[in-house]
Each structure stands twice: as structure tokens, then as C-alpha cells.
């Protein structure tokens, strides 16, 4: 989400908008790290001011202390995700136009799913109806939000696809890559089980597993230490680009995605996807007339499902053409286009409220 906010601020800055970001003063992944209450970042495209507030509590339930923060100087409030922060925000922003980006809502895990759905249907409409526009960043989010909120539009996330472009002359399908935070919803245990089956048939395969946070405790040592598996924690951007270039296939067993940024970036680099058939990922695997499928969708809970999809790819006569197809498909997520779409969304919200333009983002 932070990467999305940064990219959006950059594009809005180019378009002449003034942007400031309001967020929490701690990282849930590193709660001991002290973050400044306010700072101004100087970036190649301009500067951006970040405000941070305290929010005692836990990752799912916390109490934001907005204090005397002055929302009156902003013309549009852009709120990211749907969580416990929103009711507190609405008490402070008055009649300012409000735009919300879904980012998957809070449905990334099955934990307390029944309660989440009850709140989503019974309580959240009281708050979400206050928004002028709700941007669903994937088909799955659109299908979830639009029946309840007619102001919902489908607006996928942006990626810096040009930054991942390269001059691939060949593709190595026996090198796989997976990039994601180590959350239960990513189902890394299933991914590793399917990779073990693949590796048994093709001992030359390897899997770069890149993730932030501790590995889930339910993953057995046998899976984590299996042959062909190369473990990484978070890697710098340039190293990630190099790993994408080495890989021929991007894999994910994720049960649920708000968008699927890492997969889109891998595809922009030319990796062919073999993905869990969830609603967000269905946007990445398309049957293009005259060019074929851009990858494979499968069910990672089924034994040998990755192996079957892999064999189908190997049977294709020209994987390099499929790789180029993947790269071309990601151009629809170009940040310049997405940034303009958000500018238009702000204009529509402002038109409803008859106000001029400027924004603050709240990741």
C-alpha cells in the first residue's frame, strides 16, 4: 500500500496537485522502530510532507489519535483501505470530498471472516456511503463493494511497468519466483508442497521465495529446507529486478488478493504466471486472440496442480512470445494512466462538492 501511495503522489505531483500523507507513527512489522511525527521527503520528482499520528492497539483494532490535525486546508481526502481508522476520520473531515481505495478491504485472511462480513454488510455502509467515490483496485474488490455502494468504480493499481522492461532474449521456465509478505493468506505451505512435487520430476527447477516477516510457524522444516528452494527476505528494488530477469515463471498460491502488485511487476519483467485461481489473479491470465494464454490458473490445494500447469507451459512452442505477451498486458497498469484516472476521480468528487483541487492520502 505504501508503494501505491508513493506512486500516486508522484503522478499527482506531476499533474500539479499538492499532496500530503497522514499515516501511523509505527510499523506493525517493527513496532520498536521510532518514526518521526513529521518529515518532508525530497524525491527526484518533488517533495512530499508526511504526518504521523499515534494509534495504540493492535494490527486489526487500534485507536488513532488525530488530535488537532487540520483537515480544513485540504480539498480532497483520499483514504486507503477499509479498517477501524475510518469512523475516526469521518468525525474530523467535515464535509470534505472523500475518495476511498479498497486495497482488498480487510478480507486478506479468513480470521474472524464471519464477523468481518457482518460488519461489512451491517455497519460499514453507515460510513462508506459518506464517500463520493470508492475505487476498487481489483475485480474481486469491485464484486464485493459495488453491490452495496453504487459509487464504486473499478480502478486497478498502477505499476512502474517501464522500470521492469528488459530485452529478454530467452526464458528459463525452470527458475520460479514468488514475492509476498509471509501471511497465512499467501498459503506458502501449499506453494512449497506443490514445488516439491515439481522438483521431484524436474530436479533442475529452483524457486526464489522472497518475503517479509517471519516464515509462518506451521510450515514444516522439510518444506523450508527442500532442494531447489532459495530463501530471501526483503530485497532492494534493483536486486528484485535482477531476480525477475533470472526467473521465467512467477507463482502464487494466494487465497485472496486486493490487487497482486508483485505478480504484475513480475509479468512486466516477462515472467509467465502460474497462479491460484482467485478473482484478482483472473485479470492477469487472459486468452488473447491469436496469441494464446498469458499464463495458467490452477488450484494449489490439489496435489500436482503446479506440475500439471508447468507441463502445459513446457508444451507451448514459443514461451518467449508468451513472455512478451505478459509484458505487453501490464501496460494497462501504467502509472501515468492510473494517475490521470485518479485525477478524474477527484474532479468528479470535487464537482459534487463544488471545491478546488488538492489532496491528502491516508495509507
164 band by pLDDT with thresholds 50, 70 and 90: confident
In the sheet with 249-252, reading across from the earlier edge strand, the strands are 229-232, 206-210, 175-179, 249-252, 272-276, 296-298
C-alpha closest to that of 271 among 156, 207, 202, 176: 176
d(CA 41, CA 265): 25
**What is the CB neighbour count within 10 angstroms for residue 241?**
16
Please indicate whether the domains covering 2-158+334-362 and 161-332 agree at the CATH topology level.
yes
54-69 residues labelled b (16+ CB within 10 A) or e (exposed)? ebeeeeeebebebeee
> Cβ atoms within 10 A of the Cβ of 297, count?
16
Q: How confident is residue 359, by pLDDT bands cut at 50, 70 and 90?
A: low
- The SS3 assignment for 279 reads coil
189 three-class SS: helix
152 CB-near residues (< 8 Å, 6+ apart): 134, 135, 136, 142, 145, 146
Lowest mean pLDDT across 216-220, 249-253, 260-264, 274-278: 216-220
Q: What's the residue count for the chain?
A: 363
Tens of pLDDT, residues 345-358: 999 998 887 644 56
* pLDDT of res. 63: 75
CATH architecture of 161-332: 3-Layer(aba) Sandwich (3.40)
Give pLDDT tens digits for 244-270: 999 999 999 998 888 899 999 999 999
What pLDDT, on a 0 to 100 scale, did the predictor assign at position 358?
62
Among 285, 259, 286, residue whose Cα is nearest residue 273 = 285
| Spatial distance between the Cα atoms of 231 and 69, rounded to a whole number of angstroms | 43
pTM: 0.85
Q: What is the pLDDT of residues 18-50, one digit of tens each?
A: 899 999 888 766 777 878 989 998 998 889 999
User: Where in the chain are the domains?
Assistant: 2-158+334-362, 161-332
Mean pLDDT of the chain: 87
Closest CA to 346 of 12, 51, 48: 12
Architecture of domain 2-158+334-362: 3-Layer(aba) Sandwich (3.40)
pLDDT attached to residue 307: 98
Grade residue 139 by pLDDT with cuts at 50, 70 and 90.
Answer: confident
Rounded-to-integer distance, Cα 276 and Cα 254, Å: 6
- In the predicted structure, residue 135 carries a pLDDT above the cut 70: yes
pLDDT band at 195 (very low <50, low <70, confident <90, very high): very high
Which pLDDT does position 125 carry in this prediction? 75
Choose among 262, 267, 269, 208: nearest CA to 233. 208
Amino acid at each position: 500500500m505504501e508503494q501505491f501511495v508513493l506512486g500516486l503522489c508522484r503522478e499527482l505531483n506531476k499533474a500539479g496537485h499538492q499532496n500530503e500523507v497522514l499515516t501511523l507513527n509505527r510499523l506493525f512489522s517493527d513496532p520498536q522502530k521510532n518514526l518521526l511525527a513529521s518529515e518532508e521527503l525530497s524525491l527526484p520528482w518533488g517533495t512530499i510532507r508526511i504526518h504521523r499520528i499515534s494509534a495504540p492497539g493492535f494490527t486489526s483494532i487500534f485507536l488513532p489519535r488525530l488530535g488537532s490535525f487540520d483537515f480544513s486546508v485540504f480539498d480532497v481526502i483520499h483514504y486507503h483501505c477499509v479498517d477501524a481508522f475510518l469512523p475516526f476520520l469521518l468525525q474530523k473531515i467535515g464535509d470534505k470530498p472523500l475518495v476511498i481505495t479498497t486495497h482488498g478491504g480487510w478480507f486478506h485472511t479468513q480470521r474472524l471472516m464471519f464477523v468481518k462480513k457482518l460488519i461489512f454488510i451491517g455497519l460499514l455502509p453507515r460510513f462508506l456511503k459518506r464517500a463520493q467515490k470508492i475505487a476498487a483496485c481489483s475485480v474481486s474488490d469491485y464484486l464485493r463493494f459495488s453491490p452495496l455502494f453504487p459509487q464504486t468504480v473499478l480502478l486497478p493499481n498502477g505499476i512502474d511497468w517501464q522500470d521492469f522492461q528488459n530485452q529478454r532474449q530467452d526464458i528459463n521456465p525452470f527458475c520460479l519466483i514468488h514475492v509476498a509478505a509471509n501471511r497465512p493468506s499467501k498459503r506458502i505451505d501449499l506453494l512449497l508442497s506443490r514445488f516439491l512435487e515439481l522438483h521431484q520430476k524436474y530436479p533442475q527447477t529452483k524457486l526464489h521465495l522472497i518475503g517479509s516477516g517471519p516464515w509462518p510457524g506451521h510450515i514444516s522444516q522439510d518444506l523450508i529446507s527442500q532442494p531447489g528452494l532459495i530463501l530471501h527476505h526483503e530485497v532492494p528494488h534493483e536486486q528484485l529486478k535482477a531476480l525477475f530477469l533470472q526467473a521465467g515463471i512467477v507463482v502464487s498460491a494466494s487465497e485472496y488478493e486486493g490487487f497482486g502488485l508483485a505478480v504484475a511487476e513480475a509479468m512486466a519483467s516477462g515472467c509467465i504466471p502460474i497462479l491460484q485461481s482467485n478473482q484478482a489473479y483472473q485479470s492477469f491470465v487472459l486468452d488473447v486472440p491469436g496469441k494464446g494464454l498469458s499464463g495458467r490458473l490452477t488450484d494449489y490445494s490439489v496435489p500436482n496442480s503446479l506440475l500439471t500447469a508447468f507441463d502445459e507451459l513446457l508444451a507451448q512452442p514459443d514461451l518467449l512470445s508468451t513472455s512478451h505477451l505478459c509484458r505487453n498486458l501490464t501496460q494497462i497498469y501504467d502509472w501515468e494512466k492510473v494517475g490521470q484516472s485518479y485525477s478524474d476521480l477527484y474532479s468528479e468528487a470535487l464537482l459534487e462538492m463544488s471545491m478546488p483541487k488538492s489532496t491528502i492520502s491516508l495509507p
